[in-house]
Amino acid sequence: MNRNLDQLLNQRITGYEEALATLPISEIRRKQIQTDFIVSVRLMETLANRNLRANDWSNVIVIILSALVPVLINFSTGPDNEDDKYLGVATVCSVLLAIGNALRQSYKFREKWISYKHTAELLLIEGQNYFSLSGKYLKYPTHDDAFATFIANIGNLRLNQLNNYKKEIASDSDADLGPRTETVVASKPIVSAEFVGEPSKIKLINKEINAFVKSKTEVSYSETDHQRRLITLYLHASLHDLPEKLKFAHEDLEGIAYRVRTEKSGAELHGIFSPSAGVKNADLPASEFGSAGCFCKKGDAFVFITCYHSVKHPSQSWNSFSTADGFDKVITTDSTIVGTILEAEKSDTMDIALVQISEKIQFESLFPNHLKISAQPVYLDAENFENYQEVCIISRTRGYKKIYGRLAEVDKPITLNYGTTDEPDYKDIDGMLLVHGISTEPFSKKGDSGSLVFTPSGTPIGIVVGGDAERCSFVIPFSSIADRFAVELV
């Protein structure tokens, strides 16, 4: 029976391997799916079968010994029994029975079998959805677009299996598994199992961390690893009064403390070039171009969204833009006047300008490669942002290449230097999204301010305002922009 099941399983996995060979993806991605998905399924199934056999054999042995012991004792105490050999055998069997029960309780063959088998089935279901582009992958037009989400989901399933193993199954013989599990956990950006089902606690923690960060002007932004209870502060300048641990004031967070570590930050504006159409104030130096992020309608007017700092003239006020100040014409890289600034705001949540497009200008709302952003914006928070973690921009400076990233944090305060290294001008912005690059190049760089961040399925996520040039990009939520300026995507 087990041999037949093994054959069916091998046929099932072989089918995935054959399907993988035909997917229209790069060879590197094909090898990663082979390693992360196919090999993981085989490993989980092998471990499940090994523990199932151990569980079956241990059950058989315990049943036999449990039946033999009373029989042998009866023989040893019978009236015709003249020696105690049966008693000796019964004693040995009793000892073996006790050892067998102890081994079953210690090694938990049945629990391990269930854990490994459950993970294997979850992996196979995930693979089935990915290969057929169904379920959660229905929103992706191609397997290439769905690849990053698939690999992340596979990694989370494997990590959950390790966490469950350590918490519920691991025996004394698995003592060395702890450090190895911690190493894997440390490398994964996943919400701690302690807080799963308690988003209210995570919100309270994030709120207190954000308040702490805002009180330190030298801190450009922070990132929180709830799994390891770790806060990383990225600093513009050295800061000597930081605690080693941060404790929380709210009564529901009593006893919870997060470690604090610091790293140097080069947080700066990304506003010299653009990912799609290069735009700048007509009276700014020729090199200072930003990006026309996306096209919208505001009432009867057609506008494009960009960052205020990308089109602002030095004579204009940060706090209250007025068309009466003049210097409101915006040009493209070929010096064509494409429009005038209609509205602009730099506040504690915004660095956005709406540029009304001139009636003489013909424009195309499609992004390069005929990409259309048509979905409605979503309101992202700690409870739903993981559904939109795969994001991208179109980078003109990199040949209109689609650059992928991962939405890592929501509702974060940041501090950007709007000045220069010699003459800094730090300004705070709240409620930001943090996006990490997933390749060797940053998600955004100088020239990407104003870029629209969106999901592969066309959901607008936000507008790039800056970044630290290496690890992190800062994004203003598109839902906040749409609410503040009453705009709709074209």
For 61-118, how does the pLDDT look when each residue is reduced to its tens digit (9 = 90+)? 878 877 777 766 666 555 555 556 666 777 777 777 777 777 777 677 788 888 888 8
- Rounded to a whole number of angstroms, the distance between the first and last alpha carbons of the chain is 61
Half-sphere exposure of 285 (CA within 13 A, CB side): 6
Q: What pLDDT sits at residue 270?
A: 56
Q: Which parts of the chain register pLDDT below 70? A: 1-9, 71-87, 106, 163-198, 268-275, 286-287, 324-325, 364-371, 375, 399-400
pLDDT of residue 176: 46
* H helix or E strand, kind and range, residue 136: none
291 strand-pairing partners: 278
Quote the Cα angle for 286-290-293, to 5°.
150
The pLDDT score that the predictor gives to residue 184 is: 41
Region class of 13: left (phi > 0), else alpha (psi between -120 and 50), else beta:
alpha
pLDDT in the model for residue 419: 82
**pTM for this entry:** 0.55
Q: What per-residue confidence (pLDDT) applies to 405?
A: 92
Q: What is the DSSP letter of 401?
A: E
pLDDT at 430: 94
Q: Whose structure tokens read 């992928």? A: 404
Instruction: For residue 169, give the DSSP letter.
Output: I
